[in-house]
Structure 1
Amino acid sequence: MTQQPTPGVSRQDVFPQSAPSLLTGVPAFLGRAAGGPHTPQRLTLWPQFEAAYGSSAPGFLADVVRGFFDNGGLLCHVVRLDESRPTPSAALQTALDELDRLDGDVDLVCAPDIVTDPLWPTNGLLDPVVDQQQMLLRHCRERGDRFALLDGIPTTDTAKVMEQSGKLTGADGAFGALYYPWLRAPGGDGRLRPLPPSGHVAGVYSAGDQRFGVQRAPANTEVEGVVDLQVRLAAADVGTLYGQGVNCLRALPGRGVRVWGARTLAQDPAWRDVSARRLVGAIGRWVERFMAGLVHEPNDVRLWVRIMRELTAYLDDLFQRGALKGRTPAEAFFVKCDHETNPPEAVEAGVVVTWIGVAPTAPAEFISVRVIHGASGVTVDAG
């Protein structure tokens, strides 16, 4: 005799989908290769680069892409420079135009072959390098959602690097960071060679974003696949360079080579921290991507309430994950979309205006430890 089920209440576990999010820490590498397409190629593994462009290249592109994946990079795009263009700047602009048409997840931009000579003389011409790096910064600023990782020139003269930083500091400087010195790492043939740091640093950005989120400063993280640095900097030099907006890499005893800085090239203190600039860029990307479904909705109070509800939920999630500072959500952000932001003339024009304010968290750059000598002994007080 078969036992019949008893009528009643049963439980069914349902796991709702998580809220949509954007992938960050996705670089586009613009550089030289012996062959392959000039259009952007999406790569998730190093062998895909070898299949598309070969394992060796006339510049640094292959090595920096390998360094990206060695450091935990998840996804990148590669654009091969068209060296048939009349000048390096023209080739770079053509690649940026290709990248501008890419409607994807790219939020980082690296061009490691801007500096092509690893034996850069101290009297080398700096202006051509700066001109092309300014092109990258301008591209990121005009987009508003990308960030440039720039390579310092490979010199032992730190004054030249500070000169480079000074020339890059300006209106576009908030959209990029400068890294120095160069790395010593195995190339495609297994022999050590000097390499620009941007590819390995991009991997650090990507791995940090996956683990912690875009709000985490990409610093004090060990760089994998590196044997040494081209220049060993003294602590005083690191401090001087950092004060000029140069993010140094340091070889620390027992801790390997580490990224030791997370500052942009901005003059405005509000945009000094890499994490703040990238967080605001990520918020802008989310608004553009996930608010696209509201286009052509009736422009009335119901739409405004919906916008405020969705934006508030998104920003509250950032607050809960520690991306925004404040004891309460009200201290961390605000969203305003009402009659004040949308007067009759704006409504008649079919425009919806929303004001958003956020307070990004700031990294702890300096940790003070007080050593107090007294009659009872020595007390160490960290504050």
Structure 2
Amino acid sequence: MTIPLAPGVYVREVPSGVRSVIGAGTSTPALLGNTATLKTLRTPVLVRSWTEFRTKFFPTPADAIGALTSANEAYQAAARKRDEIDATFKRASDFSADSNYTSATSKKAAQEAWIFAVQVANLAYSLGYKTDDTKKTMDDASKVVEASKAASFDKDAFTTSISALYKNIADQKAKGWAAGEEAVQKAAEAAADAVTKLEKDASRTVAEQLREPLEAAEKAMHDAKVNASVRDHLALVSLAEVIDIVVQAFKGYDDKWCLGEAVLGFFANGGSSCYIVPLEITNTTSTFEGSSADNTGLAGLEKVSDVSMVVVPDLHLAASENLSTLAAQVVAHCAKMRNRLAILHTVPDLHAEDACKFKDGLSLGPRTDLATLYYPWLKVPGMDGKARTVPPSGHIAGVWAATDASRGVFKAPANVSLAGATGLTTTLSDDEQAGLNAAGVNCLRSFPGRPLMVWGARTLVDPSDRDWKYVNVRRLVCFLSDSIRQSTSWAVFEPNDEHLWATLRQSVSAFLKDQWRQGALQGATPDEAFHVVCDASNNPQVLIDRGEVHCDIYVAPVRPAEFVHFSIQQTAGQAV
């Protein structure tokens, strides 16, 4: 602290040392399913509106032609690089060393060589090559500069070094540094021709006619072995795949796919943003696993930390013998991530007793507390405006998100109206729902004078397991766990002593007290709602020696009033 010399009042700010726990997000689902742009877009993508989703995954003909136009622009930009590439290699191959270098002329030649080497490196970077790919060029240029500055100038050494620099650059073309430039040039011409023809006549017939030339251009690029990193850097997407999207946009999309209506239902019911995970789901699909390296499928979704629900609107398209296995993969993913639940649905056209049999036929593994099942299907206006039936899972995700925003994750997402649907495929009676509810199947109901309602909030855990029977309890504990985990990473490698324990107790207790005030925990006082233990009683020396600190948290979540009973008795006017 600086010692003041002038008389006066001095104020300094001192950090409080308080560590806060911030609530994690709970309102973002991931929807997995078939998309029209699967060939060009396979990784999880965050979308914030229906329009954004439609443009990226189910484009209209105008959107698809716009994608082709963007691809054409990328190819034209790549083609313009050809002149720069040719000029670079021509200069390198035409170089001839001066046989009479002097100390003075070598410095000028070295400066020109250095500038040329930098230009080559910049060109390589603009094409998508990594720094390591041009390291030798810059190392050679450094040797040229060093040779020109040597205290005792050696003409032969300098001539050898500068000749080697230019030769190595010239050799890069033969080694494939600019492989496929001819193919890229022809692909650019084919793309430009395709855009011109579609601008004159935007029709399915013209799009079909363009398949052959664009597929041929793509094959030529493949045969020429155009560097993959160059293609990625210059956004040279597959022209064959893009024209396929254009044709499909004119043709219309598979009416068995339900992802589009699920996303529409999500936003209609109050959802604000969701991740789309493109997958091909057909009767031959046997896995959703994907690839972590390619960032696809459930493996790619593991890298997205803010997802709290997983929905597969096209799950029913899988073969019946694979359906349970695929659903189990989704639940296993939720168990691995520990912060999300699966929203499942039945297959279509089931009666109430068949829905119970369907649920009984699911084998989801040990973590059924992380799975929910909704029934029946909904009647909705489809993406094309025509009436169709779809699973309710996307709409339910929107209800969960809206309930989280309006009340909190602790509120059961039930007794809530369902938007974006005109009816149910099956109207249930109280007796029919009784059996379904006991089995953990959440029902959608239609009551006289009321809109369609979500009328169930249970997980698929065994009914005897009272801890995780309700969706809101399971989601609340996931929320608490995720929030504490994310907000206490500062504690790692801190001194493991009473000061750390007290700070953890204070942080977690303050967070839980705030949740109690909001109504997430039951009890008349905070002491009745939660209890946090982090002291010497659960952190003995043996744990400290192992580098561990334990914080035990006990909470009393609120549970929904699922059955409300009133007793009415006649009193004949007498006081009770």
Q: With the length of structure 2 as denominator, give the TM-score of the two structures.
A: 0.59
Match of 1:66 in 2: 264
Query: 1:126: Cα distance to partner?
Result: 4.3
Q: Which amino acid aligns with 2:517?
A: Q
Q: Tell me if structure 1 keeps the 8 A contact 2:283–2:317.
A: no
| 1:142-177 deviation line (CA, Å, top 9, x unaligned) | 221111101122223222211222234762110011
Q: Which amino acid aligns with 2:37?
A: G
**CA distance in 2: counterparts of 1:226 and 1:92, whole angstroms:** 32
For residues 4-83 of structure 1, what are the structure 2 equivalents within 5 Å? 20-36=22-38, 37-54=41-58, 57-58=253-254, 59-82=257-280
The structure 2 residue matched to 1:147, chosen from 324, 341, 355, is 341
**CA distance in 2: counterparts of 1:184 and 1:87, whole angstroms:** 27
| 1:95-128 deviation line (CA, Å, top 9, x unaligned) | 111101223x1010001111029xxxxxxx7442
Match of 2:521 in 1: 324
Match of 1:266 in 2: 461
**CA distance in 1: counterparts of 2:45 and 2:423, whole angstroms:** 31
Query: 1:132: Cα distance to partner?
Result: 1.3
**CA distance in 2: counterparts of 1:248 and 1:155, whole angstroms:** 15
Match of 1:130 in 2: 324
Match of 1:293 in 2: 490
**CA distance in 1: counterparts of 2:316 and 2:372, whole angstroms:** 16
Match of 1:157 in 2: 351
Q: Which amino acid aligns with 2:378?
A: L
1:311 lines up with 2:508 in the alignment = yes
Choose between structure 1 and 2: higher strand proportion.
1
Q: Which amino acid aligns with 1:70?
A: A
**CA distance in 1: counterparts of 2:368 and 2:344, whole angstroms:** 11
Taking only the aligned residue pairs, the percentage that are identical comes to: 36
**CA distance in 1: counterparts of 2:395 and 2:30, whole angstroms:** 13
Match of 2:384 in 1: 189
Q: With the length of structure 1 as denominator, give the TM-score of the two structures.
A: 0.87
Give the secondary-structure state (helix, strand or coil) at the position aligned to 1:360. coil
**CA distance in 2: counterparts of 1:86 and 1:245, whole angstroms:** 27
1:98 lines up with 2:293 in the alignment = no
Match of 1:343 in 2: 540
Query: 1:74: Cα distance to partner?
Result: 1.4
The structure 1 residue matched to 2:310, chosen from 109, 112, 117, is 109
Query: 1:226: Cα distance to partner?
Result: 0.6
Q: Tell me if structure 1 keeps the 8 A contact 2:378–2:423.
A: yes
Q: Which amino acid aligns with 2:397?
A: A
Give the secondary-structure state (helix, strand or coil) at the position aligned to 1:370. coil
**CA distance in 1: counterparts of 2:407 and 2:415, whole angstroms:** 14
Query: 1:373: Cα distance to partner?
Result: 3.3
**CA distance in 1: counterparts of 2:322 and 2:447, whole angstroms:** 33
**CA distance in 2: counterparts of 1:218 and 1:23, whole angstroms:** 16
CA RMSD of aligned residues (A): 2.2
| 1:329-352 deviation line (CA, Å, top 9, x unaligned) | 111111111112212121122111
**CA distance in 2: counterparts of 1:364 and 1:299, whole angstroms:** 43
**CA distance in 2: counterparts of 1:257 and 1:361, whole angstroms:** 26
Match of 1:3 in 2: none
Structure 2 unaligned spans of 5+: 1-19, 60-251, 292-296
Q: Tell me if structure 2 keeps the 8 A contact 1:44–1:74.
A: yes
Q: Tell me if structure 2 keeps the 8 A contact 1:168–1:265.
A: no
Q: Which amino acid aligns with 1:112?
A: P
My pick for the range that moved more, 187-196 or 137-146, is 137-146
Match of 1:333 in 2: 530
Q: Which amino acid aligns with 1:199?
A: G
- Work out the number of aligned pairs and report it: 353
Match of 1:175 in 2: 370
Match of 1:242 in 2: 437
Q: Which amino acid aligns with 1:100?
A: E
Q: Which amino acid aligns with 1:146?
A: R
Q: Which amino acid aligns with 2:260?
A: A
**CA distance in 1: counterparts of 2:365 and 2:53, whole angstroms:** 35
Cα distance 1:291–1:283, how it changes in 2: closer, same or farther (>3 A)? same
The structure 2 residue matched to 1:302, chosen from 499, 518, 531, is 499
1:363 lines up with 2:557 in the alignment = no
Q: Tell me if structure 2 keeps the 8 A contact 1:215–1:361.
A: yes
Q: Tell me if structure 1 keeps the 8 A contact 2:332–2:365.
A: no
| 1:65-107 deviation line (CA, Å, top 9, x unaligned) | 1110011101110100046x9942324555111101223x101
1:226 lines up with 2:417 in the alignment = no
Query: 1:375: Cα distance to partner?
Result: 3.5
The structure 1 residue matched to 2:410, chosen from 212, 215, 218, is 215
Query: 1:22: Cα distance to partner?
Result: 2.0
Q: Tell me if structure 2 keeps the 8 A contact 1:32–1:57.
A: no
Q: Tell me if structure 1 keeps the 8 A contact 2:344–2:393.
A: yes
Match of 2:449 in 1: 254
My pick for the range that moved more, 344-353 or 360-369, is 344-353
**CA distance in 2: counterparts of 1:357 and 1:20, whole angstroms:** 19
